[in-house]
Structure 1
Amino acid sequence: MAEVQPVCSLEARESLAKPSIQASNTTVSEMTGPVVFTCLSKHNGISISWFHEGERLRLTGRMKLSQDNSSLTMNPVRMEDAGKYQCEVSNPGSAIRSDSLILSRSVSLLLPWSLPTTAQLILRSVPRAAAEGQDVLLRNPSRAEALIYTWYKADSLVNKKQIGRYAVLSGTVTEGPAHTGREKIYPNGALLLQNVTLADTGSYSLEIIKTIGEPETLTAEIHVFRKLPKTSSKSSSSDPVEDQGSVTLLCEPETQNTTAQCLIHNQSLPDNSRLELSMGNRTLTGHTVTRNESGLYECRTRTPVSSSHSDSFFLNVLCEYLLFPQSLTKPSIQASNTTVSEMTGPVVFTCLTKHNGISISWFHEGERLRLTERMKLSQDNSSLTMNPVRMEDAGKYQCEVSNPGSAIRSDSLILSRSGDRSEGRQVLSAGAITGIVIASLLGVFLVAALAYFLFLTKTRDNQSDPGHQQPPASTSGEYLFSLLNWEPQHPLYANQAAVPIYAQTVAHVTASVVTRLRSQKENLAE
């Protein structure tokens, strides 16, 4: 039976306009909702994707997409859902993202209504977590008319823990011993903690001195978590051989009070006896891996208020035996653009090969390309899209085609930075140099002609003197030729007893001109 060859077709696509996002709410509290995002685009027949903090959105059980992905619903909303959201519209020829829409945390801790008598209330049922660097607002829910609001960094009214006191009638604030310069008390009794640190974790108390009635005391507690650093993943081997040895994938750095998760192709790991997790899910060990374990791996770390994802790591499991007898020919690369500027794009690389059923990998500056959130591979890895492009993306790119028995890379294709020069200075072209030489020779000829004219004038004056002996006649050409070998003591002037000053000047100028003409002649001869 004849082998059926696949047929590829190219379809021209219109350029895409930037989409926009609408949201039913842009401020969230813990376990509230729903919040609905809608991606607005004037195009039809396009694909829509969602991004959170610049990375493709990881859907959870609380998130739901519409059939065409144009709307995203989160119900209930968690504090970690806050951040920048974008939607991306794409067709086979291009892709473009919307501007960011920020979903803000309502991190304020609401102090509950106080009892009619003096009591100490502990806040328990509302979120009490914040990340380093955030601002936290502690609100006063009391409606009673107050004379003085006093805040303490403690669960009791201890003077040395006093943050500050606000006098309502005068509008003055008196700072206490526990004031750090980042706290602000408002006329309604609220306390703002700016740019919180880990040291701000703990209990806070508010004392209200009322115009009528007994004082009230309210307490609350907040927790500040460290902002997670960028997560990275390391592997003991990127190209292990099938059924030989083990591979270990390590998620770094290790941070306290965080949870870790390993993913493959943006999904949870399958139930596989060859894959083993340890050290709080930070270490993934593959025992006697097979080609089924090949793919893109990454790790994710999370705290109650933030999360971090590593870049993808490609694990390529090689076969020990040659399964494909055909030898591979060198592929080639085509690019939609080979000169880039900062934050432009997209740039699309395409790996061209005549082979089917092969694996394709990408390399940058001789090393396997580490994918970032700005890079996207086609389903078969034959095309690489970068959008937007950064200056650090410039350099040499190669694609590699491989089967279990062999591999071969393409020649390098250079993605250049806009404005680069191959040399620190510009070099004149041969035509420009020729023009300069010709212009110099013409100038020399004109000066020589002027000198000759003055010489003839002087000669005519000497002819009027009967005792003057006239030099032998010569043609103009012979005279000009003699200038090339002229010296200041030329025989033409040997018998002259006295030479006028202008004739001496002409002689010196002529000597200088002839020297330049002789130099130009020697340069041309070389």
Structure 2
Amino acid sequence: MESSVLLCKGCTPWQRLLLTAFLLTFWHLSTTAFVTTVSVPSRVAEGNDVLFLVHNLPEKFKTVAWFRGPSNMTAIYGLPDNLSRPGPAHSGRETIFHNGSMLLEKVNLKDTGFYTVRTYNIHGNAISTTYTYLNVYAPLWKCGLLDTSLQPTIESVPPSVAEGGSVLLLVRNIPENSVGFAWFKGMTAFKNLLGIRHLPFRKPIVFGPAYSGRETLNSDGSLLLHSVSQKDRGLYILRIVRADGKDEEAQVQLQVDSSLSAFCNALTSSRLMIQPVLRYVAKGEDVLLQVHNLPKEALVFSWLKSNNGSPARKLVEYNRLANVISWLPAEEIRKEVYENGSLLLQNVIESDAGMYTLEVLYNYFKTERANVEFYVKKSVTEPYVQITDTTVTGGTSVILTCVSPDTDVSIRWIFNNNNLELTEKMTLSPTKCGLRIDPVGREHFGLYQCEVSNHFSLQTSYPVRLG
């Protein structure tokens, strides 16, 4: 097997093992079999190597040639002179072996596509043509201490939207190796497709048959729906396409309430409304969900709470006729409800934050609802930047990762004490925690920091030098 070692000079142990395996296979093939090609691996991450294994070459071929697509010649290998000659499409990363197989090193997204291998006889006539497809995907982003086992969820904000208003279907826990997503109104059939958005966002949005012109597909995966009507209510499904082939789905039920008005004046309207005092509270403080304009004819009212798109659960029910208050077990602790409908939460903790709904039942069996949301202040932790290689000299790629234990934060990258301006050589992960530069040039050398922030605080990492 000395020849296989010579052919694979400079290869990694993994590549040498593969080369030895396919050479052994090649020597025992039937000469009557069809030529086939297999890429190893079948899907390759950007920056890695791929080996196109060729099986069943004709017994008396003179030359083998590889093409990028159907006609752009990459390189040829001639027998019996055993010389490899580069073609016009040769990038310097291709190596062809005497059994026809080709090694392509440090692949990038532009390498994705079809490749053709042809064999020729002594007269220069083609005796076999075989095609193979290379699938290159962006690397899996592993950002910080985030729990990768978390499933994507969708929260309707607000939980029930008035006719004529707008609603945001907010997506949480998007996988960092996402390459695109699609929204459907109803089940995942083509007729129900609202739109498709690719990651990164260099490709245009593709709208589907169900698109009405009122939908906006945001870069974070969320869907914003304007001027809603009763026809918009129902099931919405998000399909997330991942680079590793393991696609995921999340769904949400959109509630449209015709009894709510999207254009109420919060201070002068006589319609039922809730005002939080305060909307942003620190842990341990009290918050009053103050109700205005609770009608006298209201018989029963209830408070419900939902969080991160979870189904609303009832906290308390107040029967005004019987003057009876019924609390869900353990919910009366740190809470107090008043006859005018207001709810007091004392000594709040982080789990108290979320969306609260007041549901009112009248004597003519009509139901009215109002929603309010408040937040518990939480300071973010100082992040830090990980870098794959701080000593790059140019021409290679590098990945910087902003590591933070906090979720639901915004991330900003800083370069030499200024906001980082992205170029074509830079790619951000979906949540911006990962920054890839490929290839690195001298203009990229300097100090990098990342900043994480929420509604209440921000922290900036210690600078890391590249170059």
TM-score, with length taken from structure 2: 0.32
More strand by share: 2
More helix by share: 1
* Larger-gyration structure (1/2): 1
TM-score, with length taken from structure 1: 0.29
